[in-house]
Structure 1
């Protein structure tokens, strides 16, 4: 997957160990891929930022920030993780151990794997891995052309139509680490759409996206 032979295989094994499967160390903390995920997230963000900076020399900071966010969001990374084989690697590694995957699992492991590659092979190798083996799965032009702020579209439409809109949290599921917010989008006190997401903001965006499709609002 990385395009090179690992020097320290234990780093990659750790990257494939979600918190739910981590064992407690003698020091009392759970050994999992969370620290590698933190490192990989920073490295990935840095490489993507430099790539966009070089590719779009005439675009402003707002464009670069929004485009990077689209590239490294959980849904995008999750799909990329599956495409490059992380799903198969994970289930081969954990075997028959009981485990329930969360929605962002493969994206989380992809970031942890990037952290492992960085520690094992260094920055230059990791940068090449990201540019050559991850970016090719992104439709950057398509992402740029796609509206991501559906909530703004809904608010603009309701203002134009002189209608009242509000968002209401109807459920919060999960645990302290993996929460799922369920938000209802209401127009004129009528439920129009329901969205789910790991944060209130993302659940509102999901509900807004569904509402845009139902109301045939261009986006």
Structure 2
């Protein structure tokens, strides 16, 4: 009877051992799955980091390329603006030298008009009128091309457009007033071609004594 009972016990032990082995195998399998899962997560994180670095690098390159395009556009606009200004200046002041060469002719006509005062004779009167008409035509042509005459008598002295040749006492004019123009000045499109040579008033000794 005792031998019959020992057989089932051995079978139970084998079964128990199999069960234990199965559990251990399952635990080992679960552990390997967890390790594999961790490895995959680590690889995914590394891949994401690499992708993020590549994205940041691509964004930086795109920003740099955009900045270069904007700088190139700005430089092109500056070049176009400067070229336009140069063309405008060339058009506006192309007659600068030419007009300056014509001014002595105008000066000669003005002096001739001052010296050729008309007398009672018809020939003298006709010559005076002819010179006056020629001078007017000359000035009209200059004005047509934006050459303006500066005749500042009675105006305050302006060093930007006037050149003082002498100072003269005056009781009637305020100090610093242009009393006479020895030679008239001219501008081309607002830019000085030749300054007016003038006589400027200064305070008279009488006015100074009165103030004292």
TM-score by length of 2: 0.23
Larger radius of gyration: 2
Q: Which has the higher contact order (CA 8 A, sep 6+)?
A: 1
TM-score after normalising by structure 1: 0.23
Higher helix share: 2
